[in-house]
Chains A and B, each alone.
Chain A
Amino acid sequence: MFNLTKRTNQSKIHTLLLQLGAIVAALVAAGIVMWAMGYNPFVIYTKIVEGSVMVSENAKKGGVPYRLLQTINKAIPLVILSLGVSVAYKMKFWNIGAEGQFYIGALFAAYVAFNFKQLPPYILLPFMFLSAFIGGGLWGFIPAVLKNRFNASESLTTLMMNYIAIGIVTYLQLGPWRDPEAKGFGRMPYFTENAILPKVFGIHIGFIIALILAVIIFVLLKKTKLGYEIAVIGENETTAKYAGINTAKVLFITLFISGGICGIAGMIQASGIEKTLTDQISGGLGFTAIITAWLAKLSAPIILVVSFLFAMLLQGGAYLQVSMQIPAAISEVIQGIILFFVLGSEFFIQYKIVFSSKIKEAK
């Protein structure tokens, strides 16, 4: 017989070691899966690193190397989305609607891009940026209202709102917003030059926005009264009410911010990468962001690191497909296994197993 008891003294080093151990174990487990599929895991891991950050031999001089650029491009929306959901998660509001908020943000930005073409970029881009924030914010705000008024489970409402958002974009893409010059091809027109994000060091300036947002979210959660209120509500809602915090108001503001930030990610992806809006634009990043936010324990600086590592996996997976004809899905398998192991390690951080013949109930 064995018994589980709650650990009373979790040291930081112990926690860190357990988490690192979980990641190593996850890589080993994923390696076994690859090996069972007939691939050499060492080769695959090497190729993933090679394909995501290494400079290829025939690279041009100057600027950021192509593969690294691709990785950074994937990391940018992932960072912003992770920051967005982490604000809601801090409050234990399970916003899994980042995908939908991303699409609505992109949609609002696209509306501005299509209809205010004449504006100069230094006005148009901030205008798109603001619209995206409002669009995504509204998409996050609706589930918050439903939760507050009808106690509707946010994990269901936010999830369903994703499909509504994608449906709207698909409708616009094939219907009213379809590019008449695309010759029957169902897509929207490309943004005009002034609606496209400028580049710095060959990378669109979304990376600067992502870094600034990381700082803002860090300050918001750690240093402001609102951040404190969010944390208090997340940890203990009855105490929050007891202390006189207006929980409904904080809920609405928080979800507007959370959704709004996810909306900004949509605008950046549409303007910086796709240069238009499509119903494929997110590539499921809104769901990957849930994993990265969680693995980073909702800490803004760690989100930067984890998102970059996940972008490496994504980019490395794509490289595997091209260079070795190995399905890119292998990187999703690795992602899933890592999440599984790290979440599992949480249990061993909280509890320890005591083997004994005599059970003592721990109250």
Chain B
Amino acid sequence: MKESYIELCDITKVFGPVIANNNVNLSINKGEILAILGENGSGKSTLMNMLSGIYRPDSGSIRINGKPTLFRSPKDAISAKIGMVHQHFKLVEVFSAKENITNGLKNGFIYKNKQLSKEILALANRYGLSIDPEKKVYDMSVSEKQTVEILKVLYRGADVLILDEPTAVLTPQEIKKLFMILQNMKKDGRAIVIITHKLNEVMEISDRVTILRKGESVGSIETCNTNPKELTDAMVGASVNLSINRPENIKGLPLMEIENLTITSPEKVNLLDNVSFTVKKGEILGVAAVAGSGQKELCEAIAGLQKVASGNIIFNSEDIVGLSPRAIINKGISMSFIPEDRLGMGLIGSMNIIDNVILKTYRAGKSPFIDRKEGKKNALQIVKKFDINTPSVYHQVSKLSGGNIQKVLLGREISLDPELIITAYPTRGLDIGASHKIYDVINDQKEKGVGILFVGEDLDVLLELSDRIMVLNSGRVMGIVDAHKTTKEELGLLMMGMKQEVAQNV
């Protein structure tokens, strides 16, 4: 048994009402690659942010070589030789690789240009990284930027590297290269922590896996002693009965047919890859996927906000690909889009309820003046119908509670009498009572014959609310399963990219 280099004991971190980490235990050894596996919101990032000094734990301790250490800032973590490569790179675009790597370090007054380049190249060669120290970051590809991030951490002398979903933005070839480099570092005696939710990568690269679920550490296991099935079960946990009402769906006609939809990122990575499915009238089609699997792009493509590379979106036998959001509205196609980040897209936080309610209807009529009387009437109706708790309709939306904000948004969309509702994480951050009210609202719409595309993150909710569930992984449809018959484990495996025979199309 090796001596643990870093030990996290009973770490707890609370954000307002949310317990992000609850008595988490974790040990990191030198010369080992540790994978941290967990669903969205299982507390992986919070934990790593505490290890890199960005957050401070509310309770619990971090021991380095057995000695309790308190990180007050990222500086303390760096001096403890812990470095983090963030998922979203933190680089200065107009600086060169070298400048980014040495930025913030005390090098004395005189900038030893040539010597620095030599040092960086030597460091890069040691692990098989390739880099041009003079290249500006804005000229770099994603994988080059990641190399800079890794070198930045190495240059600061890190013995422990934490990589937050390092493969999410890379092509398969680049991933292969990255793994080779990680192996080199491991041989060099460094400790690597890799956060991921891709099971095959865990199996391929890691020596040990620690699984987090809902903020708690479920266990650690040697990778060679486990298999994907076991890991998935540990990750998703046992099914919980939420008793969400599921009205029988009227066997409706197809409302929207998506055919071979492909969306590519500017880096030529397929965000959605040949996706086809149908939403019927009066059904809830659930979408299950880990973050960044293409669900956001899918929603935005239907709403006309995302450029489509190829494929068709047939809505009421009319192809709506390429139409602007305004044109889609003008075509008489009523589509309601409740984006992932409610306040980021969908509502204007600093405006009052009336001004948010009129967002999609203010254009009506020829007059250049805006009709807030109608808006007020509408807002009052929505407040009453959805039981929104607010002092008045003149109240600023951002000052409402999360559940009420969600109700304003859903209320506005439903008041437009849509035929299709696309909703992503409508109950994120809401308590059980508020969540159930939202489910009731969605079910009401379903019974009226509205088609609903429901992007969710809680598998228990998806299983009980949806009629069918489509699982996405890396932009591909892994399967569409009958929500009455499938299990949480099956969904988990599909989400992790393990395609099984059980997942027949329904």
Contact = CB atoms under 8 A, between A and B. Distances in A.
A236 B348 contact: yes
A242 B305 contact: yes
Nearest to B49: A361
A12 interface: no
Given A244-B326, A363-B16, A239 B370 contact: no
Contacts of B303: 242
Nearest to A363: B15
Interface stretch (A100-108, A163-171, A219-227): A219-227
A161 to B, nearest CB: 24
Interface in B1-43: 15-16
Interface of B: 15-16, 55-56, 58, 303, 305, 324-326, 328-329, 337, 339, 343-351, 355, 358-360, 362-363, 368-370, 399
B9 to A, nearest CB: 19
B317 to A, nearest CB: 22
A231 interface: yes
Of the listed residues B325, B337, B399, the one surrounded by the most CB atoms of chain A closer than 10 A to its CB is B325
A236 B358 CA distance: 15
29 contacts: A9-B399, A225-B362, A225-B368, A227-B370, A228-B355, A228-B358, A228-B362, A231-B355, A232-B348, A232-B359, A236-B343, A236-B348, A238-B345, A239-B344, A239-B346, A241-B325, A242-B325, A242-B337, A242-B339, A242-B345, A242-B346, A243-B325, A244-B325, A244-B328, A245-B326, A246-B326, A361-B56, A363-B15, A363-B16
Contacts of B348: 231-232, 235-236, 239
Contacts of B358: 228
Nearest to B18: A363
Nearest to A358: B58
A52 B346 CA distance: 49
A224 B369 contact: yes
Given A223-B370, A225-B368, A225-B370, A236 B363 contact: no
Contacts of B58: 360
B370 A243 contact: no
Contacts of A224: 368-370
Contact of A235 (B324, B351, B362): B351
A146 interface: no
Interface string A36-63: 0000000000000000000000000000
Nearest to A231: B351
Main secondary structure of the interface of B (DSSP, over half): loop
Contacts of A8: 399
A343 interface: no
A325 to B, nearest CB: 46
A359 interface: yes
Interface string A237-260: 011011111100000000000000
Contacts of A235: 348-351
Given A224-B368, A244-B326, A245-B326, 17 more contacts: A223-B369, A225-B362, A225-B363, A225-B368, A226-B368, A231-B348, A232-B359, A235-B348, A235-B349, A236-B344, A239-B345, A239-B346, A242-B303, A242-B346, A243-B325, A244-B328, A361-B15
Interface string A1-30: 000000011000000000000000000000
A86 to B, nearest CB: 17
Interface string A350-363: 00000000011101
A363 B16 CA distance: 8
Contacts of A232: 348, 351, 359
> Which 9 pairs from chain A and chain B are nearest by CB?
A244-B326, A244-B325, A238-B345, A363-B15, A235-B348, A243-B359, A225-B370, A236-B348, A244-B329
Contacts, number: 70
A242 B360 CA distance: 9
Interface of A: 8-9, 223-228, 231-232, 235-236, 238-239, 241-246, 359-361, 363
A43 B140 CA distance: 62
Of the listed residues A8, A226, A361, the one surrounded by the most CB atoms of chain B closer than 10 A to its CB is A361
Contacts of A245: 326
B240 to A, nearest CB: 26
Nearest to A243: B359
A244 B346 CA distance: 11
Nearest to B337: A242
A236 B56 contact: no
A91 to B, nearest CB: 13
Of the listed residues A8, A224, A236, A360, the one surrounded by the most CB atoms of chain B closer than 10 A to its CB is A236
B368 A236 contact: no
Nearest to A220: B368
A238 B305 CA distance: 9
A313 to B, nearest CB: 31
Of the listed residues A226, A228, A236, A242, the one surrounded by the most CB atoms of chain B closer than 10 A to its CB is A242
A173 to B, nearest CB: 39
Nearest to B324: A244
A228 B368 CA distance: 11
A8 B345 CA distance: 21
A225 B349 contact: no
A228 B349 CA distance: 14
Contacts of B337: 242
Contacts of A226: 368
A151 to B, nearest CB: 13
Contacts of A363: 15-16
A239 B359 contact: yes
B503 to A, nearest CB: 33
Nearest to A360: B58
A113 B348 CA distance: 46
A225 B363 CA distance: 7
B426 to A, nearest CB: 16
A228 B370 contact: yes
Contacts of A228: 355, 358, 362, 370
Contacts of B343: 236
A241 B351 contact: no
Contacts of B324: 244, 246
A239 to B, nearest CB: 5
B94 to A, nearest CB: 13
Nearest to A8: B399
Contacts of B326: 244-246
B142 to A, nearest CB: 20
Contacts of A223: 369-370
Contacts of B369: 223-225
B491 to A, nearest CB: 29
